[in-house]
Structure 1
């Protein structure tokens, strides 16, 4: 099966969204006149969408990869186990080395992806209707399970209405007072991985599983006939998410973490935001697939946009890690040498956004040069080396 341009485009858009989000929120405070731009980069243009697209593709890509590799199921399973474990460990090392020990148990997106890579291996044996039941159960039970924990304590004690947008739509969107702060005990961190962390298994497991189901339909050549249905379902989910969020915004008190009729919240992912993001990713991927891949025989020369997306998608792991490292490591070194930590205080939001845009532009020529060296020493190269070595050891 050939590489799908719709996958490359969605993955590239997810990476761009995360870069656009992370630089303003980690380098600026968003106070005062920066509030509007801070909201736009953090929520409307940035990570809220990007993260859901990124993990949706984890499930879809695994189906496509299995289809490409074909025959030797035992060898394929072994590679998936090694890959998932390596990404999980890499995710922990990323948090430790780049963000610092105090962030190690935040349960970032990489640890989630590593774990889900292995979980999806066993989804191959489960019919799609059963996987949909699992997703439905997760969607509705996650708020109930959260109500059994004091999740707010890990996010600064409370959730606050987002500045600027709240002037127009009061209490529609909430952010935690502080970033997730890990637990003081092993039990807290264990629960964080499954329920309360930045990217816990519940409810985020929904996105890769839905991607996995869509991947099945795609490899069975059924996505074309499914297109109207997926668009309608996507619109319904997005609409229900916004209606639920509005109903939650006029129904105090606001418990974004443990109710079903809630305002929008990304950390933790509220019920309404879950519905909305799920609808958006279904619509977007279906539209992209119909634009780029519905007619596989088309051989028109790719334009600038598609060429860029293909290159960015190829180095998604490297981009994800390096875009954090480029500001976290210097800030931590300055902190060690001067005692002053400029996290969220380095510059204004417009300057931080300009840095993000510059980085998004510069990644393309840098990665093109890296390609000439066959991507050697990139994180994709490192991951492939680990898989190759471990696979050989298991086969001997």
Structure 2
């Protein structure tokens, strides 16, 4: 059956559209997250060319999830409407899911950040190491109030839903305004003799601070995942999702690609050229230019996956299954990567009195990354047989019903 046949068939006219390519693309993002934890936290040779090339590809991971929040929300709302859910029921479910993610973010902070800070005190690390610098200048409460990945995912879901009610043109204006505000905030320190926010500084380390003003500033534009510019990805995701859904319902999926691939390619190429000559890509999106570059790269990459899976129907059953399962299990893996690939190594380092984070050569980090990818694939496959019972995704469904 070709795409759109079920739409033209009156007996299936009200069936919701589910795209396998979204789960597969999310699974690809999970692999990027696993790799990012390895290279960013384990490697000691951060100034080497291999690390530079490797680490420059990793920032696709977190923005990919933000983009998918917007895209998936559009399809989720459409599915719930087809299944007879009222607007109030849909709104309540979205709000519950968003608040669940934000609330879980603080639980994650307690387990994976604040407690680890107490277990692994700063003085066991070399004085010139990143962990010594970060831990020596922070406290338990600083890590507990950290605005992290789960918080911004929940916030992106909430903002995406309420913007979804507005026309696409309004969302485009909102996205542009996010970038404009980001530019203003980024270069504001120049007027006070400082350096722009979000610029790559090899010896700079983010240290959270549990002060009300600092917390607000971190949430808005200075923390690990600030609203400006990270909300941009989710807003663009709603535009991509609505456009994609429209073309799917019209039985013209190829038009989704034909309309935008040239513009996105120009944006990608321009951004890449400027990035090469202007600054070094780091772990987080530092500038508006970088945000545009990453956005274009992600959408083009998804178009390739969409064409391969949904249009050409070229499938590799094992690969599709693996990536699809990783995608469905993404929240739990995001949680477990922090526990197993960072906190576990911290604790082992404390027990053997040898720091493990930030001490490994690049040639050792790569096989360890592969090992953890295989570990999570096996874990996901085993958990899938039990319908992911007691996973983070399972708890989310139970709590937000």
Instruction: Report the TM-score range of the alignment, normalised by the length of the smaller protein.
Output: 0.7 to 0.9
Q: Does the aligned pair in 1 maintain the 2:37–2:341 contact within 8 Å?
A: no
What are the ranges of 5 or more consecutive residues in structure 1 without an aligned counterpart? Answer: 160-173, 250-262, 389-396
Cross-structure match for 1:309: 323
Q: Give the structure 2 partner of residue 49 of structure 1.
A: 60
CA deviation profile, 1:169-200 (whole Å, cap 9, x unmatched):
xxxxx355233212352111111101111111
The 1:125–1:310 alpha-carbon spacing in structure 2 relative to 1, beyond 3 Å, is same
Residue pair 2:20, 2:309 contacting (<8 A) in 1 also? yes
Tell me the TM-score normalised to structure 2 length. Answer: 0.80
Q: How does 1:35-46 map to 2 (within 5 A)?
A: 35-44=48-57, 46=58
Q: How does 1:198-277 map to 2 (within 5 A)?
A: 198-221=224-247, 223-246=253-276, 248=278, 264-267=281-284, 269-277=286-294
Q: Any residues of structure 2 matched to 1:316-395 within 5 Å, and which?
A: 316-334=330-348, 341-345=355-359, 347-388=360-401
Change (3 A) 1:130 1:73: same
CA contact (8 A) 1:242 1:276 kept: yes
**1:65 to 2:82 alignment:** no
Q: Structure 1 stretches (4+) deviating beyond 6 angstroms? A: none
Aligned to 2:155: 115
Q: Secondary structure at the match of 1:284?
A: helix
Preserved CA contact (<8 Å) 1:176 1:267:
no
Give me the TM-score of the superposition, normalised by structure 1: 0.81
- Name the CA shift for 1:88/1:51 in 2 (closer, same or farther; >3 Å): same
Aligned 8 A contact 1:264 1:270 in 2? no
Residue deviations 1:349-380 (CA, integer Å, cap 9, x gap): 22222111111122222222112222111111
- Kept in 2, the 8 Å contact 1:6–1:288? The answer is yes
Q: What does the per-residue CA deviation read over 1:84-123, in whole Å, with 9 as the maximum and x for residues that have no partner?
A: 0010111222123112344344422211011111111211
If asked which structure has higher relative contact order (CA below 8 Å, sep 6+), I would say 2
| Paired residues, number | 352
Distance across 1 between alignment mates of 2:156 and 2:19: 22
Are residue 136 (structure 1) and residue 166 (structure 2) matched? no
Report the Cα offset of residue 331 of structure 1: 3.4
SS state at 2:50 partner: helix
Separation in 1 of the partners of 2:274 and 2:346?
41
SS in 2 for 1:304: helix
Q: Does the 8 A contact of 2:332 with 2:392 survive in 1?
A: yes
Q: Distance in 2 between matches of 1:387 and 1:356?
A: 34
Taking the aligned partners of 1:278 and 1:369, their CA distance within structure 2 comes to 34
